[in-house]
Chains A and B, each alone.
Chain A
Amino acid sequence: MTTNTLHSSRFSQLYINRLGLWLFILSESVIFVALLFTRFYLLGVERAPEINQTIGLIITGLLLVSSLTAYRAEVHIAQGNRKAFMNNILATILLGIVFLIGVGIEWSEAFDHFPPGTLFGTVFFTMTGMHAFHVLTGLLLLGLLYLRGTQGAYSKNDYWGAEATIKYWHFVDIVWVFFYPALYLLS
Chain B
Amino acid sequence: MKAIYKGIAGALIGFVIGAGGLSLIRILIGLEPWELETGIVVGYLFALCGWLLGVGVWDYWGRGWFGLPLRKYKLTGWRRYFSFDTDHKVIGIQYLFTFLLMMLVAGIFAMFMRTELMDPGRGIMDPKTYNKLMSLHGMFMIAVAITIISGPFGNYIVPLMIGADDMAFPRLNALSYWLTPAVPILLLTSLAFQGWNSGWTGYAPLSVTNETGQVFYNLAFMTLGLSSIVGAVNFLTTVITMRAPGMTWGRLPIFVWSILSTAILSLLATNFVFMVMLMVILDRISGMGFFNPDIGGNPILYQHLFWFYSHPAVYVMAIPGLGITLEVITHFSRKPLFAYRWAVAGFLGIVIMSFTVWAHHMFTSGMPENPLPFMVSTELISIPTGFVFLAALGTIWLGKLWLKTPMLFGLAVIFNFLIGGITGIFLADIPIDLQLQDTFWVVAHFHYTIVGTQIFGLMAAIYYWFPKLTGRMYNERLGKLHFWVMFISFNTTFSPMFWLGINSMNRRVAQYLPEFSMVNTWVTISAFVMGSSFLIFLYNMIYSWIRGSKAGANPWNARTLEWQTSSPPPAHNFATPPEIIGHPYDYGLPGSSHAFFPISGSSGNKQVKD
Contacts A27-B232, A27-B271, A30-B272 given; indicate if A126 touches B296 (C-beta within 8 A).
Answer: no
Interface 1/0 per residue, A104-123 and B, CB below 8 Å: 00000000000011110110
A9, A34, A117, A144: the one within 8 Å of B275 (CB)? A34
A2, A24, A147, A151: the one within 8 Å of B233 (CB)? A24
Please give the number of chain A residues whose Cβ is less than 8 angstroms from any Cβ of chain B in the complex: 41
Which residue of A has the minimal Cβ distance to B241?
Answer: A11
Q: Is A157 part of the contact surface with B, judged by Cβ < 8 Å?
A: no
Q: Is A101 part of the contact surface with B, judged by Cβ < 8 Å?
A: no
A34 lies within 8 A of B276 (CB)? yes
A16 lies within 8 A of B232 (CB)? no
Report the Cα distance A24→B235, complex, angstroms.
12
CB-defined contacts of B399 to chain A, threshold 8 Å? none
Which residue of B has the minimal Cβ distance to A150?
Answer: B67
A117 lies within 8 A of B287 (CB)? yes
CB-defined contacts of B577 to chain A, threshold 8 Å? 8
Chain A nearest CB: distance from B317 CB in Å? Answer: 19
Report the Cα distance A28→B271, complex, angstroms.
7
A30 lies within 8 A of B271 (CB)? yes
Chain A nearest CB: distance from B490 CB in Å? Answer: 35
A23 lies within 8 A of B72 (CB)? no
Main DSSP-derived SS at the B contact region: helix
Which residue of A has the minimal Cβ distance to B287?
Answer: A117
Report the Cα distance A31→B222, complex, angstroms.
12
CB-defined contacts of B268 to chain A, threshold 8 Å? 26-27, 30
B67 lies within 8 A of A151 (CB)? yes
CB-defined contacts of B560 to chain A, threshold 8 Å? none
Please give the number of chain B residues whose Cβ is less than 8 angstroms from any Cβ of chain A in the complex: 53
Q: Is A52 part of the contact surface with B, judged by Cβ < 8 Å?
A: no
CB-defined contacts of A116 to chain B, threshold 8 Å? 282, 286-289
Q: Is A42 part of the contact surface with B, judged by Cβ < 8 Å?
A: yes
B67 lies within 8 A of A153 (CB)? yes
CB-defined contacts of A43 to chain B, threshold 8 Å? 296
B237 lies within 8 A of A30 (CB)? no
Within 8 A of B (CB), among A108-150: 116-119, 121-122, 125-126, 144, 147-148
Contacts A34-B271, A34-B276 given; indicate if A3 touches B60 (C-beta within 8 A).
Answer: yes
Q: Is A68 part of the contact surface with B, judged by Cβ < 8 Å?
A: no
Which residue of B has the minimal Cβ distance to A141?
Answer: B65
CB-defined contacts of A20 to chain B, threshold 8 Å? 168-169, 172, 233-234, 237
Which residue of A has the minimal Cβ distance to B167?
Answer: A7
Report the Cα distance A16→B245, complex, angstroms.
16
A41 lies within 8 A of B288 (CB)? no
The stretch of B298-306, B466-474, B498-506, B588-596 that contacts the partner chain: B298-306
Contacts A28-B271, A30-B271 given; indicate if A16 touches B237 (C-beta within 8 A).
Answer: yes
Chain A nearest CB: distance from B605 CB in Å? Answer: 21
Q: Is A178 part of the contact surface with B, judged by Cβ < 8 Å?
A: no
Contacts A125-B288, A144-B66, A148-B67 given; indicate if A23 touches B241 (C-beta within 8 A).
Answer: no
Q: Is B75 part of the contact surface with A, judged by Cβ < 8 Å?
A: no
Interface 1/0 per residue, B280-300 and A, CB below 8 Å: 001000111110000111100
Which residue of A has the minimal Cβ distance to B295?
Answer: A119
Contacts A7-B242, A16-B237 given; indicate if A42 touches B296 (C-beta within 8 A).
Answer: yes
Contacts A23-B233, A42-B296, A148-B65 given; indicate if A31 touches B274 (C-beta within 8 A).
Answer: yes
Chain B nearest CB: distance from A175 CB in Å? Answer: 13
Contacts A9-B242, A34-B305 given; indicate if A16 touches B269 (C-beta within 8 A).
Answer: no
Contacts A16-B237, A30-B271 given; indicate if A42 touches B298 (C-beta within 8 A).
Answer: yes
Which residue of A has the minimal Cβ distance to B233?
Answer: A23
A27 lies within 8 A of B229 (CB)? yes
Q: Is B250 part of the contact surface with A, judged by Cβ < 8 Å?
A: no
Chain B nearest CB: distance from A73 CB in Å? Answer: 18
A27 lies within 8 A of B270 (CB)? yes
Which residue of A has the minimal Cβ distance to B171?
Answer: A3
Chain B nearest CB: distance from A89 CB in Å? Answer: 15
A8 lies within 8 A of B168 (CB)? no
Contacts A42-B297, A116-B287 given; indicate if A35 touches B275 (C-beta within 8 A).
Answer: yes
Chain B nearest CB: distance from A167 CB in Å? Answer: 14
Interface 1/0 per residue, B303-320 and A, CB below 8 Å: 011001000000000000
Which residue of B has the minimal Cβ distance to A34?
Answer: B275
Report the Cα distance A124→B416, complex, angstroms.
47
CB-defined contacts of B295 to chain A, threshold 8 Å? 117-119, 122
Q: Is A54 part of the contact surface with B, judged by Cβ < 8 Å?
A: no
CB-defined contacts of B165 to chain A, threshold 8 Å? 6-8
Q: Is B21 part of the contact surface with A, judged by Cβ < 8 Å?
A: no
A23 lies within 8 A of B267 (CB)? yes
A3, A4, A27, A144: the one within 8 Å of B65 (CB)? A144
A2 lies within 8 A of B272 (CB)? no
A2, A24, A30, A122: the one within 8 Å of B297 (CB)? A122
CB-defined contacts of B267 to chain A, threshold 8 Å? 23, 26-27
Within 8 A of B (CB), among A5-63: 6-11, 15-16, 19-20, 23-24, 26-28, 30-31, 34-35, 37-38, 41-43
Report the Cα distance A118→B169, complex, angstroms.
44
Within 8 A of A (CB), among B554-594: 572, 577
Chain A nearest CB: distance from B526 CB in Å? Answer: 41
A23 lies within 8 A of B236 (CB)? yes
Contacts A34-B275, A126-B282, A151-B67 given; indicate if A3 touches B170 (C-beta within 8 A).
Answer: yes
B60 lies within 8 A of A126 (CB)? no
Report the Cα distance A153→B233, complex, angstroms.
27
Chain B nearest CB: distance from A126 CB in Å? Answer: 6
Q: Is B373 part of the contact surface with A, judged by Cβ < 8 Å?
A: no
Q: Is A1 part of the contact surface with B, judged by Cβ < 8 Å?
A: yes
Q: Is B240 part of the contact surface with A, judged by Cβ < 8 Å?
A: yes
B70 lies within 8 A of A27 (CB)? no
Report the Cα distance A93→B213, complex, angstroms.
40
Report the Cα distance A148→B287, complex, angstroms.
41
A10, A19, A24: the one within 8 Å of B245 (CB)? A10
Listed A/B pairs (14) with beta-carbon separation below 8 Å: A1-B70, A6-B572, A16-B241, A20-B168, A23-B233, A24-B233, A26-B267, A31-B274, A34-B308, A38-B275, A41-B298, A41-B301, A122-B290, A126-B279
5 additional A-B pairs beyond A6-B572, A151-B67, beta carbons within 8 Å, are A2-B70, A9-B168, A16-B237, A30-B272, A34-B271
Residues of B in contact with A (beta carbons under 8 Å apart): 60, 64-67, 70, 72, 86, 164-166, 168-172, 229, 232-234, 236-237, 240-243, 245, 267-272, 274-276, 279, 282, 286-290, 295-298, 301, 304-305, 308, 572, 577
Question: Which 7 A/B pairs are nearest by Cβ-Cβ distance?
Answer: A30-B271, A119-B296, A34-B275, A122-B288, A11-B241, A151-B67, A23-B233
